[in-house]
Amino acid sequence: MTDVHIGDAVRRVEDQRFLTGQGNYIDDINMAGQARAAVLRSPHGHARINGIDTSRAEALDGVLLVITGRQWLAFGMGTLPTKTGVRKGRNDTDINEPPRHCMAIDTARYLGEPVAFVVAETQVIANNALELIDVDFEPLEAVSDAVKALAPGAPRLWDDIPNNLCIDFELGDLEGTEKAFAEADHVITLDLENNRVTAVPIETRGCVGSYDAATETYTLYNATQNVHANRDMFAENVLGIDKQKLHHVAPDVGGGFGAKNSAYPEPPMVLYAAKKLGRPVKWINTRSDSFLGDTHGRGQTSRVQIAINNDGTFLALRTETVGGIGAYCWTIGPFTPTGGSARTQGGPYTFPAMYYRGRAVFTNTAPMDPYRGAGRPEATFQTERIIEYACRKLGLDPVETRRKNLMPPEALPYMSPMGMDIDCGDFPLLFERTLEMAAPDTFAARADRATKAGRLFGFAIAPYLECTGGAPKEYAGVQFKEDGAVTLAVGSHSTGMGHETVLPQLLAARLGIDFDRIQFTQADTDATPIGGGHGGSRGMEVGGNAVAQAADEIIVKATPLAAHLLQSDAAKVTFADGSFSDATSGASVSMTEVIEASMDQEPGFLDTGATFERGVISIPNGCHAATVEVDPDTGAIQITGYWVMDDFGTVINPLLADGQVMGGIVQGIGQALTENIIYDDSGQLITGSLMDYGLPRADVVPNMVIDYYEGAPTKKNPLGVKGAGEAGCVGALPAVVNAVLDALKGHGVVHMDMPLTPEKVWRAIRDKGAHDPEALMRDAC
């Protein structure tokens, strides 16, 4: 009989390994005879490469191989394509997709773009060789600001792409929105910046590749979130080989947050070098190079407009966004500022009409790709900021105005103007519960105490609505061993979320077997035929349902054998709570006993592989609230309280769900208060190290009160789960920013762009909020 159930707060079994230094991360993997690799990166944001002299590097003792972009092209290596789900723009125009080689060929288009690749006997020799490569760079005019990149006469990254425009996308009802704007009592406009950030996982990227000449196969160990999809791109698109010739494995991965989801150029170069040299090759990225070459996220400049009546009724929402996606489309980069940010516009409110326009723009900056939330935090921030701003402008109560416009549960199911199938939920209930947890009846006393201490008190509440994503199919394979072990192999992937605990928990609970007997495998292309990896809060929605489906198929297979053991007819046998029972005789036999009996049958009698395919994506939702205190003399912000109610449908393991919510909130706090990727006009990165880039520290993270509403499990998947991984990021940005602006309202500050650093807050107080809230998008519009 199992000792775990769905809904139990089972502690993570993998933590014993991680916390005692027994994890097996990419830099722990070493192969006999391996060489070490290093990458020479462009020191310019935009420069023509007139020539590369590698002779001194090649002559250095211990250097085994030096490759330049031109040589890479001569080898016949292919390009890395974008897999964006948005390929058509307004007026049925096609996406502009320039070729993305693994190295710059004749022009470097962002600081940190690979220019040459060196392999040597040791890392020190490889690094020294980089210093000996002489590149004749001819600096070109660069453009790092996406709005400026659209302007007439701006430097052009690609000769055949006018105005640096990748795609001009729209979604929604333009005519209906314009009509509502014409009829509304008020149209409120706000320009805002969603600052560019980067993931900074504790483990940098890296890989180890080898080649077996006898079988003509490659093996790649890679710190990635998505082994199957990236394997296919590396093999078929770049190396030009059958994907089955590449065994792709991710060991323990120390965080990803989207930045390790993409197909990067270094792994194919490592694989080529391993074959060329006939020995394994290892490459580990430095933290400095991670800032230059890892994908970034967010980075949108937006104009948001709301049509609202005098009584606070929302009539329409219109958003125009410009997102700089870097020099290339990257893996799915154009999707985030277009379809990714369009889908959840309007949040859980009843907007009769909405319209969204998003332009993805090429800039001389590092690549942009999904970062935790990938559009949903941007959409929620846009929605919640314009609501808060409109309430301040019109003298409306922000809490009452939100309450008035939330979708009532009786309106569900509802197809939003953005095409979101919102099937279930109770948005007013979550709103009221969050407000109750925050205890607004104590605010006056808390504000009074803050005032006496020389600080300003602020509060904000921020409902959110998001959606899941990622690959729609997932596989789970279960095998039973004679020694009693059960192996579970999945195509989904954890980079720290706890899948090694929760998926075996789900299988054990479903079958009624011992949790400790289950051996877990993930992120291995040889272990599962398909796999969607990690991204889009899909772990439980797709991976969990694949495990549940496999368990159900095992029960079906086991029922005739159970009937035989019970000397009954299979039609009379039912399964519940880990046992098969005959209703007529009352006799029962456990699943464990049936598994043991199956070993006398044909080999693998109960072994099962199941592929689950998601139909319609689910809609996680919830509400965040925060209180802050601001020191007007220094601009310092302290978050004094944080409350969250989340609707994730069925919660398999609330302890792990708490961890996901907390982690997302902390990343949201980081973006709201301290994190910022800044380029100068030449494309040089100003915030290129942890000395300059402000990650959130423990002392800025408040205690959090987290609760769940499970009264509306979705019927879109058998488990009724809605996804939890990105929700914390989605609600945190507006909750924190609006709370700070609430604290500053007495000083005339109605808007500030993230990050709300102490200096920025201090200056806003001294300026009494004097700035133009409609300035950012003027040129683009």
Which residues on adjacent β-strands are paired with residue 49?
137
Cis peptide, bond prior to residue 440, ω within 30 of zero: no
The DSSP bridge partners found for residue 120 are 36, 63
- The predicted-structure confidence for 524-541, as pLDDT tens digits, reads as follows 999 999 999 999 999 999
Task: Check residue 779 and give its pLDDT.
Answer: 60
- Ordered by start, the domain boundaries in the chain are 15-22+471-613, 31-140+202-255+260-293, 296-468+617-766
Q: Which positions ≥6 away from 522 have C-beta within 8 Å?
A: 250, 489, 490, 491, 492, 493, 494, 499, 500
Per-residue confidence band for 672, with pLDDT thresholds at 50, 70 and 90: very high
What is the average pLDDT score of the chain? 96
User: Reduced to 3 states, what is the DSSP secondary structure of residue 198?
Assistant: strand
Topology, domain 15-22+471-613? Aldehyde Oxidoreductase; domain 4 (3.30.365)
Distances in Å between the Cα of 518 and the Cα atoms of 12, 478, 485, 504, 548 are 14, 9, 6, 6, 15
Return the biggest CA–CA distance within the chain: 87
DSSP state of 685: B
Residue whose structure tokens are 């409109």: 390
Which pair of tokens denotes residue 533?
Answer: 């990896």
pLDDT tens digits for range 96-154: 999 999 999 999 999 999 999 999 999 999 999 999 999 999 999 999 999 999 999 99
pLDDT reading at 668 higher than 80: yes
Class of domain 296-468+617-766: alpha beta
pLDDT tens figures, 244-282: 999 999 999 999 999 999 999 999 999 999 999 999 999
pLDDT for the residue numbered 557: 97
Q: How far apart are CA 531 and CA 773, in angstroms?
A: 45
Q: Which residues, 6+ apart, have CB-to-CB distance to 567 below 8 Å?
A: none
| pLDDT confidence band for 603 (50 / 70 / 90) | confident
3-state secondary structure 79-108: CCCCCCCCCECHHHCECCCCCCCCCCCCEE
Fold of 31-140+202-255+260-293: Aldehyde Oxidoreductase; domain 3 (3.90.1170)
| Segments in 599-708 forming alpha helices (H) | 654-673
pLDDT for 517 equals 96
Give rounded-to-5 percent helix, strand, coil for the chain.
Answer: 35, 25, 40
**Helix (H) / strand (E) containing 624:** strand 621-630
Q: How many CB atoms lie within 10 A of CB 132?
A: 18
Burial of 371 (0-12, 13-18, 19+ CB in 10 A): buried
Average pLDDT over residues 306-322: 98
- The reported pLDDT for the residue numbered 551 is 98
Write out the two tokens for 206: 């890296």
Segment 487-509 mean pLDDT:
97
Cα separation, 492 vs 499, in Å, equals: 9
Residue 199's identity, in one-letter code, is: A
All residues at 6 or more sequence positions from 291 whose CB lies less than 8 Å from its CB, including other chains: 112, 198, 685, 687, 688, 689, 693
Amino acid identity, residue 538? R
Burial class of residue 128 (count of CB atoms within 10 Å of its CB; 0-12, 13-18, 19+): middle
Mean pLDDT of 647-653: 98
| Terminal Cα-to-Cα distance of the chain (whole angstroms) | 64
Q: 363-399, pLDDT tens digit by residue?
A: 999 999 999 999 999 999 999 999 999 999 999 999 9
CB 696 within 8 A of CB 668: no
Residue 775: pLDDT above 90? no
C-alpha to C-alpha distance for 264 and 484, rounded to whole angstroms: 41
10 Å Cβ neighbour count for 427? 28
Q: Which of 648, 370, 611 is nearest to 502 (CA)?
A: 648
Task: Judge if 15-22+471-613 and 296-468+617-766 fold alike in CATH terms.
Answer: yes
Residue 681 pLDDT greater than 70, yes or no: yes
Tokens representing residue 491 in the block = 């195509």
State the Cα angle at 181 between 179 and 187, rounded to 5°: 175
Structural contact between residues 332 and 84, judged by C-beta atoms closer than 8 angstroms: yes
Per-residue pLDDT band for 695 (boundaries 50, 70, 90) equals very high
How many residues make up the chain in this entry? 781
Calpha distance 239→254 (Å, rounded) = 27
CA 500 vs CA 14, 214, 493, 505: distances in Å? 7, 35, 9, 9
Q: Letter for the amino acid at 505?
A: Q
Q: Quick one: which of 658, 627, 638, 657 has its CA closest to 742? A: 627
pLDDT at 774 over 80: no
Residue pair 285/292 in contact (Cβ under 8 Å)? The answer is: no
520 to 7, 25, 125, 133: CA distances (angstroms): 20, 17, 39, 46
Q: What is the pLDDT of residue 518?
A: 97
Residue with tokens 């299988």, as numbered in its chain: 507
Q: How far apart are CA 469 and CA 84, in angstroms?
A: 12
DSSP string, 33-47: T-EEEEEEE-SSSSE
Chain centroid to CA 294:
14
pLDDT > 90 fraction of the chain, expressed in percent and rounded: 97
DSSP E strands in 680-732: the ranges are 704-708
